[in-house]
Structures are given as C-alpha cells and as structure tokens.
Amino acid sequence: MLRNSLNDTLKDAMRNKDKQAISTLRLILAALKDRDIAARGEGHDPIGEDDVLEMLQKMIRQRRDSIEMYEKAGRTELAEREQSEIGIIEGFLPKQMSEEEVEQIVVDLIAELGADSIKDMGKVMGALKGKYAGKMDFGKASAVVKTKLV
C-alpha cells in the first residue's frame, strides 16, 4: 500500500539523515493527512490509492510551475531543489505513459464513448481519470483531448 511505502521511506530517510527526502516526505504525508481529515469531516473514509496518486501528480505539477518561475527569476538553487523533490515524489508513482501512449488511449476512448465535441470533454476526462489514475499526466491528456474534440 502506498501509505505504508511513504512511511517506510520516511523512516529510511531519517536513518540515512537525507534532509531533502525527509522534508519532501513530510510534505507528502502532511498533505495526505489534510485530505484524510477533510474526507472524514464530510463523513467519508480516508482517501483511496487513486486519490493519493492524483495528489502526488498535483504536487509534481505545482513543483514544475515553481521551477519555471524560479528559472525566470534566476534562482537556480531553488529550481534544483524543486527538481529534487519531483524526483522523490515520482518514485511513488507508477511508470508514466509516453505522449504517444496517451494520445492513442485518448483516441480510442473518444471512439469508445462516441464523443464528438468539446462538450464531451468532461466525460472523456472522467473516464481517463477513472482508468489511468497515477499513470498519466492529466494536464497533458487534457490538451490532447481538446485537440481531438475540436
């Protein structure tokens, strides 16, 4: 289970005194705990594996945005730190699909669902998230869906 893996990796990082890994793993676990508390407040169980994978992907997107801003501002040391965090987070995600694989899946799913206009984008994206959580970058997939549904 992903939660156990996160906790075990944190323990290993603490034993190895890996400050970057400790910091990143604590951020992940804090975000996970926040989501669990929010879910409990709404009367739900703690979030599931797919939601954890989605949260990790969102954390990676946030760091990529930060890298872009840091590089524009000439803060390469901060950009490198964010890149290091991305590497740690990606270690918990399944192998990501290539752009070609994403495009082929989108084309097949559009045909399967009979989607023919941009109005069907929500239906296509929902199906993608249901089937491929944690395996593809939904930001990139969204762009592919838009180009195929126009």
pLDDT digits (tens, 9 = 90+) for 61-88: 999 999 999 999 999 999 999 999 999 9
**Domain total in the chain:** 2
We report the CATH number of the domain holding residue 124 as 1.10.10.410
Amino acid, single-letter form, for residue 18: D
Each residue's pLDDT tens digit, 34-65? 999 998 888 888 888 888 988 998 999 999 99
Q: How many CB atoms lie within 10 A of CB 31?
A: 15
**59 and 120, same domain (yes or no):** no
- pLDDT attached to residue 132: 85
Kindly state the tokens that stand for 114.
């009979």
- pLDDT attached to residue 46: 85
Give the structural domain span for 15.
2-90
**7 and 64, same domain (yes or no):** yes
CA–CA dist 34, 84 (Å, integer): 23
**85 and 106, same domain (yes or no):** no
**14 and 72, same domain (yes or no):** yes
**113 and 77, same domain (yes or no):** no
CA–CA dist 144, 115 (Å, integer): 14
E strands, 17-149, are: none
Q: What count of Cα atoms within 13 Å lies in the side-chain half-sphere of residue 88?
A: 24
> Model's pTM, two decimal places?
0.75
